[in-house]
């Protein structure tokens, strides 16, 4: 049977599926059969424009023509309009690559997401896949580490620790075995960039892990993935099998001296297992609990062996660095924040989605240019950056560039790149109360400042909200935040005060505190 000459793309990403992509794909196939039209349907990853999902693309001589959002009920009308030839229709969006929202981005890590079939090795290779690993196989471990170090890549999971330095520590450690542990336990509210890579370009993650393994001398890796991501689990496991069968995983990869294999481990979905030492405990079959540091996982990690622990985005960014070179990647960004960051726009926005931009883009550009302003049409009042433990910023900070050091100067973090927008109806005292409650629910319970402090913190905020002895409870809350920040064993307890203190500092009126009473920040 000959291959159909027309290719139609319908995302199989979880976000698109939630909006009816499966029904749209089935309707397209059924309508094509009814009309005797030959076509091939590829389930690609999402382009990240969620308000347009399910977004259907047709490969035409002029490029891919986009239509969206396409419901099953729209399909017959699309055929009538000749959409397989790029015909005009009320849902037509023009050429995909000319859509301004996409055109303004710098997609390096997400260069293939939405473009290729996630489970086609041929498609992956045809779009520059495995070029990074091919080059890495010609370099010494020291040269690979040097390339990653010079690129300026820092951990995209939240800690922003230089990836090359971490790899160099593991490379220099003496041990009978070393591991690569990919932290895919994406648990921050409003974040989804890891999931989109695993569902839309899983081979990029596998390639990045393999390069890391060659660099440090590891021969086995794990992807720790939460059970709430069933589509990502299925896609990643299928991609691992494809890579293994083609000799890109396993013994003597592509005839080289490097042997490496990967497996997916599914966690039960505890937020604390996103912390690296808890994740290692869970990988070892134990309850996920924080380990005191030192020793660092780079020296004594999984099963007591030196272990590279990197987030999905960190590892998936490595192939393009090895392919194009450190300088190419370093040329993006500002200050010490080099390369690009996948920013996940969520909350009260008209056009939320995934934006990959070089560091330096401002919050205002993200809210207005990409997010399209608030969905409610009301003024944006606050933005939380960095997940549920990130600081809130008021309108006076909207021109702040996304840069690790700039955010630190303003007592904030970039975290995993989550940006959640609230309009002027938000109650910031309630948001602060939620931060402490979240920490209390998700605490592993190992250290007292986090376990007890979060509950006492929630109680103090509730008293302030009820106007009970506000001055005294406010002072007590500041002292409690000081203890949590400086005495907690990990970032969960240590960072829970960030949203609380930022809300107190910038929105004191929501707590019944006079604006002139500037609360002290505790670092």
- Bigger pLDDT: 157 vs 117: 117
Report pLDDT for 411. 93
d(CA 21, CA 70): 8
d(CA 375, CA 378): 8
Report pLDDT for 522. 47
Report pLDDT for 159. 83
Given a cut of 90, whether residue 452 has pLDDT beyond it is yes
Given a cut of 80, whether residue 184 has pLDDT beyond it is yes
Average pLDDT over residues 254-273: 94
CA distances to 251, 435, 462, 476, 503 from 469, in Å: 68, 22, 11, 11, 19
Average pLDDT over residues 181-188: 94
Task: Lowest mean pLDDT of 213-227, 261-275, 314-328, name the range.
Answer: 261-275
- pLDDT tens for 51-70 read 999 999 999 999 999 999 99
- pLDDT tens for 226-250 read 999 999 999 999 999 999 999 999 9
- pLDDT tens for 282-318 read 999 999 999 998 999 999 999 999 999 999 999 999 9
Mean pLDDT (the chain, rounded): 95
The count of other CB atoms within 10 Å of the CB of residue 455 is 16
d(CA 64, CA 97): 8
- The pTM score is 0.95
Express as a percent the part of the chain with pLDDT over 70. Answer: 98
């Amino acid at each position: 049977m000959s291959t159909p000459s027309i290719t139609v793309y319908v995302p199989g990403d979880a976000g698109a599926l939630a909006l009816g992509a499966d029904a749209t794909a089935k309707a397209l196939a059924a309508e094509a059969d009814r009309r005797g039209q030959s076509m091939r349907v590829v389930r690609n990853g999402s382009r990240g424009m969620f308000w347009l999902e399910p977004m259907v693309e047709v490969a035409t001589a002029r490029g891919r023509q986009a239509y969206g959002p396409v419901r099953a009920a729209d399909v017959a009308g699309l055929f009538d309009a000749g959409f397989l030839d790029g015909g005009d229709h009320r849902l037509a969006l023009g050429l995909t690559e000319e859509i301004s929202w996409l055109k303004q981005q710098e997609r390096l890590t997400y260069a293939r997401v939405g473009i290729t079939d996630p489970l086609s090795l041929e498609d992956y290779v045809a779009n520059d896949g495995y070029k990074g690993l091919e080059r890495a196989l010609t370099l010494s471990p020291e040269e690979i580490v040097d390339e990653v170090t010079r690129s300026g890549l820092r951990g995209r999971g939240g800690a922003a620790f230089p990836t090359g330095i971490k790899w160099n520590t593991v490379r220099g450690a003496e041990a009978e075995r070393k591991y690569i542990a990919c932290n895919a336990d994406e648990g921050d509210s409003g974040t989804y960039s890891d999931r989109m890579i695993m569902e839309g370009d899983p081979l990029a993650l596998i390639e990045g892990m393999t390069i890391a393994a060659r660099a440090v001398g590891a021969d086995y890796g794990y992807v720790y993935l939460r059970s709430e991501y069933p589509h990502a689990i299925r896609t990643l496991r299928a991609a691992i099998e494809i890579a293994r069968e083609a000799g890109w995983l396993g013994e003597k990869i592509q005839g080289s001296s490097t042997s490496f294999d990967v497996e997916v481990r599914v966690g039960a979905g505890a937020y604390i297992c996103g912390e690296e030492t808890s994740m290692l405990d869970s990988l070892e079959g134990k309850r996920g609990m924080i380990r005191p540091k030192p020793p660092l996982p780079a020296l004594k990690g999984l099963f007591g062996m030196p272990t590279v622990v990197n987030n999905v985005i960190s590892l998936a960014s490595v192939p393009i660095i090895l392919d194009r070179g450190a300088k190419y990647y370093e040329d993006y960004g500002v200050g010490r924040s080099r390369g690009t960051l996948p920013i996940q726009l969520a909350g009260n926005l008209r056009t939320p989605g995934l934006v990959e931009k070089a560091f330096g883009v401002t919050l205002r550009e993200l809210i207005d240019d990409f997010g399209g302003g608030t969905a409610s049409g009301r003024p944006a009042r606050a933005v939380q950056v960095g997940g549920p433990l990130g600081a809130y910023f008021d309108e006076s900070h909207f021109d702040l560039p996304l840069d690790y050091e700039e955010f630190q100067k303003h007592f904030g973090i970039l975290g995993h790149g989550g940006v959640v927008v609230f309009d002027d109806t938000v109650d910031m005292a309630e948001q602060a109360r939620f931060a402490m409650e979240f920490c209390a629910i998700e605490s592993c319970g190992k250290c007292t400042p986090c376990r007890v402090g979060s509950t006492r913190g929630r109680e103090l905020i509730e008293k302030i909200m009820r106007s009970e002895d506000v001055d005294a409870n406010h002072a007590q809350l500041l002292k409690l935040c000081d203890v949590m920040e400086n005495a907690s064993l990990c970032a969960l307890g240590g960072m829970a005060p960030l949203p609380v203190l930022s809300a107190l500092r910038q929105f004191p009126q929501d707590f019944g505190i006079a604006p002139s009473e500037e609360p002290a920040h505790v670092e």
